[in-house]
């Protein structure tokens, strides 16, 4: 395998000059650059990623910060960001930080010296904290909007509102929203969108906050039954799954008549996994969110023309589908 010494020898220059010609060509005469590059191509020499990164004053590392690893929503986002990082010549590392303590702040400060930038998924963090963290290194927020920080979000409020509208048009007059974690920015946006969509058209019962876990669906089931709702829109798929099975187990407690069927929304991944069709669903493309976030961060790092970069906001479309309650499999609607 050819080395930098071999390239320098073939080009007739010093090792230092060969290194500058490959990594910092603006410091070397064009004729010298041409000789060094020709030598490198002849020998099949490829500078290491680390060497190139250090020559540019960067590490080649990017950190994605997530508040926890319990929420399955983060998995496809991480996957999408990692794939895009590899395509862009970067390596993605994961840090689990809630950004709600002094220890977290100190850890982020240390991390900022080891990476080139941050992808932050911090739905519950204080805005002041996010401003401080974004000042440590180039930052892109995921599923959150804060003035002065570039962001990528899923346009889920629009999808949740359209699903609520569809339920009203199907004749549902009592609808529930099963909310997500306390202080969650996406939860607030989704809840507000649903409330606006059904205002003056249907009665809305809001339950929560709840962590995005199946246990939450079991916990809220009795409250949903007592409210007499006929359709439930749920913050996250794990909650939906828990609620569906809890309602099925409590079929005997359901009132008679139309309210005996409570339609619960889910997402397409859950529907496919269960091998059924007809469940009203909202499909957030986590991989697209991760990919777009990484693309935006790379553009910031490489100083591509983004205009007012701090104001960049990318909204990834979210798909929804609604089925008539009569078409939903009986096994999934108590």
pLDDT tens digits along 151-192: 999 999 999 999 999 999 988 999 999 999 988 999 999 999
What is the CATH number assigned to the segment(s) 4-55?
1.10.260
The radius of gyration computed from the CA coordinates of the chain, to the nearest angstrom, equals: 26
Question: Which of 96-105, 221-230, 237-246, 256-265 has the weakest average pLDDT?
Answer: 256-265
For residues 131 and 25, give the distance between their C-alpha atoms in angstroms, rounded to a whole number: 36
Decide: residue 279, CB within 10 A, 0-12 exposed, 13-18 middle, 19+ buried: buried
Q: Which SS3 state, helix, strand or coil, does residue 44 take?
A: coil
What pLDDT score was predicted for residue 275? 65
Residue 271, pLDDT above cutoff 80: no
What is the average per-residue pLDDT within 127-155?
93
- Residue 179 C-alpha from the chain's centroid: 18
Banded pLDDT at 334 (limits 50, 70, 90): very low
What pLDDT score was predicted for residue 21? 83
- Where, residue-wise, is CATH 3.40.50.2300 in the chain? 61-154+287-317, 156-283+320-332
Q: Which SS3 state, helix, strand or coil, does residue 231 take?
A: strand
Percent of the chain's residues with pLDDT above 70 = 84
- Residue 239 C-alpha from the chain's centroid: 18
What pLDDT score was predicted for residue 19? 81
**Number of residues written out for the chain:** 334
**Model pTM score:** 0.73
- Where, residue-wise, is CATH 1.10.260 in the chain? 4-55
Decide: residue 1, CB within 10 A, 0-12 exposed, 13-18 middle, 19+ buried: exposed
Tokens for 272, please give them: 């496919």
Residue 199, pLDDT above cutoff 90: yes
What pLDDT score was predicted for residue 305? 59
CATH class of 156-283+320-332: alpha beta
Q: What is the distance in angstroms between the CA of the first residue and the CA of the last residue of the chain? A: 67
Q: ∠ CA 140-143-145 to the nearest 5 degrees? A: 70
Residue 306, pLDDT above cutoff 70: no
Residue 215, pLDDT above cutoff 90: yes
Q: How many distinct helices (H) and strands (E) make up the chain?
A: 13, 12
Banded pLDDT at 249 (limits 50, 70, 90): confident
Q: Which SS3 state, helix, strand or coil, does residue 93 take?
A: strand
Banded pLDDT at 51 (limits 50, 70, 90): low
For residues 238 and 246, give the distance between their C-alpha atoms in angstroms, rounded to a whole number: 12
What is the average per-residue pLDDT within 26-55?
77
Name the fold adopted by 61-154+287-317: Rossmann fold (3.40.50)
């Amino acid at each position: 395998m050819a080395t930098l010494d071999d390239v320098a020898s073939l080009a007739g220059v010093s090792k230092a000059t060969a290194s500058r010609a490959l990594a910092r060509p603006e410091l070397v005469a064009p004729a010298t650059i041409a000789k060094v590059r020709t030598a490198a191509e002849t020998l099949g020499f490829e500078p290491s990623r680390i060497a190139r990164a250090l020559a540019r004053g960067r590490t080649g590392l990017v950190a994605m910060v997530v508040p926890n690893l319990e929420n399955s929503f983060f998995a496809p986002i991480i996957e999408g960001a990692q794939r895009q990082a590899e395509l862009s010549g970067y390596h993605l590392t994961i840090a689990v930080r809630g950004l709600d303590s002094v220890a977290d702040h100190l850890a982020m400060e240390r991390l900022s010296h080891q990476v080139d930038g941050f992808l932050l998924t911090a739905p519950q963090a204080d805005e002041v904290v996010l401003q401080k963290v974004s000042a440590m290194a180039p930052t892109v927020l995921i599923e959150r909007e804060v003035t002065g920080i570039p962001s990528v979000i899923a346009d889920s409020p629009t999808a949740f509102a359209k699903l609520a509208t569809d339920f009203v048009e199907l004749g549902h007059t009592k609808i529930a929203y099963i909310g997500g974690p306390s202080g969650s920015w996406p939860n607030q946006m989704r809840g507000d969108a649903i409330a606006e969509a059904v205002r003056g058209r249907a009665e809305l019962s809001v339950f929560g906050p709840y962590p995005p876990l199946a246990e939450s669906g079991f916990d809220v089931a009795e409250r949903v039954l007592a409210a007499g709702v006929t359709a439930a829109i749920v913050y996250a798929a794990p909650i939906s799954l828990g609620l569906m099975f809890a309602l099925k187990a409590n079929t005997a407690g359901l009132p008679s008549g139309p309210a005996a069927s409570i339609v619960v929304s889910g997402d397409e991944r859950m529907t496919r996994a269960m091998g059924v069709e007809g469940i009203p669903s909202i499909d957030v493309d986590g991989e697209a969110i991760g990919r777009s976030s990484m693309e935006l961060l790379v553009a910031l790092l490489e100083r591509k023309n983004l205009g007012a970069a701090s104001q960049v906001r990318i909204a990834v479309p979210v798909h929804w589908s609604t089925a008539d309650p009569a078409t939903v499999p009986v096994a999934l609607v108590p």
